Amino acid sequence: MKKIEAIIKPFKLNEVKEALNELDIRGMTVTEVKGFGRQKGHTEIYRGSEYTIDFLPKLKIETVLPDAQVEAAIEAIINAAKTGKIGDGKVFISTVDDARRIRTGEQGDSAV
Amino acid sequence: MTTSARIGCRLLSVCWLLVLIIGLGNTAVAAAQLEPAPTTNSVAPINSGDNAWLLASTALVLMMTAPGLVLFYGGLVRSKNVLSTMMHSLILMAVISTLWMVFGYSVAFGSGNAFFGNPLTHLFLKGVGGTPNPAYAATVPAESFMLFQMMFAIITPALISGAVAERVRFKAYLLFIVLWTTVVYLPLCHMMWGQGGLFNWAIGGKIPVLDFAGGTVVHISSGVSALVFALVIGKRSGFPREPMMPHNVVLSLIGAGLLWVGWFGFNAGSALNAGALATSAFAATHFSAAAAALSWTCAEWYLKGKPSVLGAASGMVAGLATITPASGFVSVPAAFGIGLVAGVVCYLAVTKLKAAFGYDDSLDVFGVHGVGSTVGMLMLGFLASAEVNPLIGTTFQKNGVVVSLAGGMHQFWNQLAGVGATVALAAIATFLILKLVDASVGLRVDQEDESAGLDLSQHGERAYNE
């Protein structure tokens, strides 16, 4: 079982969600986050006072999947979120020990 | 706060209560001693059109304070200080109205010397009723004139609050505005507009300074005092290192729009009648605001690469503040020219001047109102036209001879004298008042309260919960 955390450009959310739906992946958690990587921030000017905004708004998508689905999901996310410009984001994959569904008590792959 | 300061505050409130009680008592006595009304009642020559316009203008000018300035300033601060910033304007509608009723109107417009009126003449608005005062406005009730002028007294200290937003102690602010209005605003108002005032060109002054709607009385006085206040109280902690961005530019834009509309009451209402002069002041006001919005935007676009929306709104306000003294004296093309200059000069003042000297005039009161209106006052010296306002060709008498005040070098010097006196009075008096207030209650909130925000630390509230 793996967890995929994808940091993407906010306007790409719908495309990523649809790409995952096509793989029959129906569950995910989305959080509004701010951060920066290689992409620099931008400058805002209010009455001549310039402010450099380092932390740019991004979305973090989290989803936990059985091992068999992981590679296809990563590929789908990358294809959907890609614009080719700097700041497209990153995908992190990590191992998850276990999962439980609260309503039924199901365990492991059947819980995610 | 020290115990002595606390006692001082209590004493001050007790004094206010006493003044109120004595005043009310006097009114009762005066009512009891009223003589029977004369049987042949002469009809006061009130022009209902003039009165209707003046009352509408009065309401428009109040709208400039709230919600105009409340929104304009409220949007420009950080979200933890929005309520306190709004309160700085809002509370004046209560405090200055009280002061105006008790003695303010009398000091500004009562009979007196060249510098201030007698506070007893119209104490508690005694004798200010339905009968016009022909020296000021012959065709409307004196009470209408009193109300109209009160709205100017309310908005002027509200402008100052922008320079010290996000760090001033509320108690200190209240004490400051009561003292400032008494020592700076009321005398200045009397000098420019009161009968026999030193600079009154129309009724009995010595030096004829043209100020149609408050370039000196409202904008230069508040702008200069704002600068002194910002210097004395010091920068916001973290300025200019930390970003201090406006938390809601949308609020500021709504406020700026309301200011533009309200300014028609401010300037065209200052004609004090509903005739051609009101229309010409209305037109000058409008075209100056348009020109300044245009020139500020172009200047910013050219120098910074992008035309910001807040810049366009700031340009509008700069154009309005700049045309204020000139509005009843100049033609439309002259007003447009004044506006063009205002947009560029004020833009440079809030960007280059502020950066060069490093003061934290948080919402640019000096750069927009002080600098703008000074430009307006001085350009007016050259551009004042007796064709627009025939009175300036016929009213002022020097050694028994009528002198024209229309534009030229002679009038420029008069204007400069008016500006100089305003700057000197505002700067010196503000400095002394601030020293007094600082010693009694402390001007500034402490570091912890400042970082928590004034909404929470001064008022126990937050603007946005959720």
Token pair belonging to B16:
């206010």
Amino acid at B261: V
Q: Chain A residues with CB inside 8 Å of B306's CB?
A: 45
Whether the CB of A44 is below 8 Å from some CB of chain B: the reply is: yes
pLDDT tens column, B344-358: 999 999 999 999 999
ipTM: 0.72
pLDDT classification of B3: cutoffs 50, 70, 90: low
pLDDT classification of B30: cutoffs 50, 70, 90: very low
User: Which of A44-58, B74-88, B215-229 shows the lowest per-residue confidence on average (mean pLDDT)?
Assistant: A44-58
Distance (Å) of CA B233 to CA A42, B59, B228, B356:
32, 33, 9, 19
The answer to whether the predicted template modeling score (pTM) of the entire model surpasses 0.90 is no
Q: Which residues contact B6 (CB under 8 A, 6 or more apart)?
A: none
Amino acid at B411: Q
pLDDT classification of B35: cutoffs 50, 70, 90: very low
Q: Residue B48, class by beta-carbon neighbours within 10 Å (0-12 exposed, 13-18 middle, 19+ buried)?
A: exposed
- Tell me which residue has tokens 């408050």: B214
Question: B77 to chain A: nearest residue by CA?
Answer: A46
Question: A48 to chain B: nearest residue by CA?
Answer: B351
What would the mean pLDDT of B46-75 be, rounded to a whole number?
Answer: 98
Burial B276-312 (b: 16+ CB within 10 A, else e): ebbebbbbbbbbbbbbbbbbbbbbbeeebeeebebbb
Whether the per-residue pLDDT at B37 is higher than 70: the answer is no
What would the mean pLDDT of B160-168 be, rounded to a whole number?
Answer: 97
CA distance A46 to A51: 8
CATH number for the domain spanning B169: value is 1.10.3430.10
Q: Is residue A6 helix, strand or coil?
A: strand
Whether the per-residue pLDDT at B25 is higher than 60: the answer is no
Q: Is residue B23 part of a domain?
A: no
Whether the per-residue pLDDT at B455 is higher than 90: the answer is yes
**B140, B51 in Cβ contact below 8 A?**
yes
pLDDT tens column, A10-22: 999 999 999 999 9
Q: Chain B residues with CB inside 8 Å of A48's CB?
A: 300, 304, 347, 350-352, 354-355
- Tell me which residue has tokens 């973090």: A60
Burial B74-88 (b: 16+ CB within 10 A, else e): bbbbbebbbbbbbbb
| First CA to last CA distance, chain B | 34
Of B240, B306, B310, the CB nearest to A47: B310
What range defines the domain where residue B62 resides? 48-459
Q: Which residue has the higher pLDDT, A49 or B450?
A: B450
Of B243, B249, B350, the CB nearest to A48: B350
Q: What is the pLDDT of residue B45?
A: 86
CA distance B456 to B91: 17
What would the mean pLDDT of B88-94 be, rounded to a whole number?
Answer: 98
CA distance B144 to B167: 37
CA distance A19 to A89: 17
What would the mean pLDDT of B166-184 be, rounded to a whole number?
Answer: 98
What would the mean pLDDT of B197-203 be, rounded to a whole number?
Answer: 95
Q: Which CATH code is given to the segment(s) A2-111?
A: 3.30.70.120
pLDDT classification of A39: cutoffs 50, 70, 90: confident
CA distance B70 to B63: 10
pLDDT tens column, B280-330: 999 999 999 999 999 999 999 999 999 999 999 999 999 999 999 999 999
CA distance B429 to B54: 32
Q: What is the pLDDT of residue B4?
A: 55
CA distance B289 to B336: 8
pLDDT tens column, B382-437: 999 999 999 999 999 888 899 999 999 999 999 999 999 999 999 999 999 999 99
Domains in chain B, number = 1
- Minimal CA separation from B304 to chain A, in Å: 8
CB contact under 8 A, A45 and B364: no
Cis check for the bond before B67: say yes or no (omega within 30 of 0): yes
Q: What is the pLDDT of residue B399?
A: 85
**A64, A111 in Cβ contact below 8 A?**
no
Whether the per-residue pLDDT at B337 is higher than 90: the answer is yes
pLDDT classification of B26: cutoffs 50, 70, 90: low
What would the mean pLDDT of B326-336 be, rounded to a whole number?
Answer: 98
CA distance B66 to B399: 46
Whether the CB of A47 is below 8 Å from some CB of chain B: the reply is: yes
Question: B242 to chain A: nearest residue by CA?
Answer: A51
**B414, B208 in Cβ contact below 8 A?**
yes
Whether the per-residue pLDDT at B38 is higher than 90: the answer is no
Q: What is the pLDDT of residue B34?
A: 45
Q: Is residue A56 helix, strand or coil?
A: strand
Whether the CB of A48 is below 8 Å from some CB of chain B: the reply is: yes
Q: Is residue B401 part of a domain?
A: yes
Residue B234 backbone zone (phi > 0: left; psi -120 to 50: alpha; other: beta): left
Q: Which residue(s) pair with A57 in the sheet?
A: A34
What would the mean pLDDT of B20-31 be, rounded to a whole number?
Answer: 50
Q: Is residue B15 part of a domain?
A: no
User: Which of A57-66, B10-19, B448-457 shows the lowest per-residue confidence on average (mean pLDDT)?
Assistant: B10-19
CB contact under 8 A, A46 and B245: yes
CA distance B444 to B206: 41
| Contacts by B101-105, CB closer than 8 A, 24 or more apart | B101/B125, B102/B19, B102/B20, B102/B23, B104/B150, B104/B153, B104/B181, B104/B182, B104/B186, B105/B146, B105/B149, B105/B150
Q: Which residues contact A106 (CB under 8 A, 6 or more apart)?
A: A100
pLDDT tens column, B102-139: 999 999 999 999 999 999 999 999 999 999 999 999 99
Enumerate the domain spans of chain A: 2-111
- Tell me which residue has tokens 């420009």: B76
**B115, B190 in Cβ contact below 8 A?**
yes
What percent of chain B clears pLDDT 90, i.e. is strictly above it?
A: 88
What's the mean per-residue pLDDT of chain B? 92
Whether the per-residue pLDDT at B182 is higher than 50: the answer is yes
CA distance A3 to B315: 53
Distance (Å) of CA A53 to CA A41, A44, A60, A83, B6:
5, 7, 19, 22, 44
- Angle between the B409-440 and B170-180 helix axes, to the nearest 10 degrees? 140
CA distance B408 to B406: 7
Interface of B with A (CB under 8 A): 240, 243, 245-246, 249, 300, 304, 306, 308, 310-311, 314, 347, 350-352, 354-355, 364
Q: Quick one: which of B210, B217, B224, B203 has its CA closest to B377?
A: B210
Amino acid at B325: P
Whether the per-residue pLDDT at A86 is higher than 70: the answer is yes
pLDDT classification of B32: cutoffs 50, 70, 90: very low
